[in-house]
A and B are shown apart, each in its own frame.
Chain A
Amino acid sequence: DAGVIQSPRHEVTEMGQEVTLRCKPISGHDYLFWYRQTMMRGLELLIYFNNNVPIDDSGMPEDRFSAKMPNASFSTLKIQPSEPRDSAVYFCASSDRVWGTTDTQYFGPGTRLTVL
């Protein structure tokens, strides 16, 4: 398996623009997680899905953020409109169902977002 795939790897956009980040989890994994990493706040869980259903989105910072998982092999995280403070590295991770949310998570390489 190729592991968790994220695209794009780098995104530079201007304030006010819509940004869409994409993730393909490892095949057969039932859980998908979106994280944000910044120097100030460290690694923050934004939202996670189980079998394509959002379970906990309490980490989503504002209504400007939304996430979807239309099928088992694809998820998007959208920011609209984007702001400079959204600049961060966004990670997607997936895990198997054996131990549920406590199972080992496999992380993608991340998307480095810069909002000017």
Chain B
Amino acid sequence: AQSVAQPEDQVNVAEGNPLTVKCTYSVSGNPYLFWYVQYPNRGLQFLLKYITGDNLVKGSYGFEAEFNKSQTSFHLKKPSALVSDSALYFCASSSGNTPLVFGKGTRLSVIA
């Protein structure tokens, strides 16, 4: 069965510093990987996805993620964090033709 792990419930980072939100996956076959963000009292918003091709994926709001097949990871990164990036971040995966499986989410807090 496929699964997604987000090992950190909470990540704190100072504004202007780089941020990383970690995600590892377990999928049979080629993985399809996603990052979503949820702001308070809102639905999830799509940030970026990896389907195939370049291991470094660029998405919305300056975020990027790197697919690492050997480490089965898909960490979300941003070079310089903003206070407005504070939100709940979800990693999700699929093996194709199966519904997305979401991680439990990581709460990012960017401190001014």
Taking Cβ atoms with an 8 Å cutoff, the residues of A that contact B are 4, 33, 42-43, 45, 48, 56, 91, 93, 99-102, 104-110
Q: A107 to B45, Cβ gap below 8 A? A: yes
Cα A109 to Cα B102 in complex, Å, equals 18
Q: A109 to B43, Cβ gap below 8 A? A: yes
Instruction: Please judge, given known A-B contacts A56-B99, A91-B43, whether A43 and B90 are in contact too, CB under 8 Å.
Output: yes
Taking Cβ atoms with an 8 Å cutoff, the residues of B that contact A are 32, 34, 36, 41-46, 49, 51, 90, 94, 96-100, 102-105
Q: Which residue of A lies closest to B34 (CB)?
A: A104
Q: A33 to B43, Cβ gap below 8 A? A: no
One of A91, A93, A101, A104 near B49 (C-beta < 8 A): A104
Q: A101 to B34, Cβ gap below 8 A? A: no
Q: B99 to A101, Cβ gap below 8 A? A: yes
Q: Can you list 28 A-B contacts (CB < 8 A)?
A: A4-B43, A43-B44, A43-B90, A43-B105, A45-B99, A48-B99, A56-B99, A91-B43, A91-B44, A100-B96, A100-B97, A101-B94, A101-B98, A102-B32, A102-B94, A104-B46, A104-B49, A105-B100, A106-B46, A107-B36, A107-B43, A107-B45, A108-B43, A109-B41, A109-B42, A109-B43, A110-B41, A110-B42
Q: Which residue of A lies closest to B49 (CB)?
A: A104
Task: List 15 other contacts, CB 8 Å, given A43-B44, A109-B42.
Answer: A4-B43, A33-B99, A42-B102, A43-B102, A45-B99, A56-B99, A93-B43, A93-B44, A101-B97, A102-B51, A104-B46, A104-B49, A107-B45, A109-B43, A110-B43
Q: Which residue of A lies closest to B48 (CB)?
A: A104
Cα A33 to Cα B102 in complex, Å, equals 13
Closest CB in chain B relative to A34 CB, distance in Å = 11
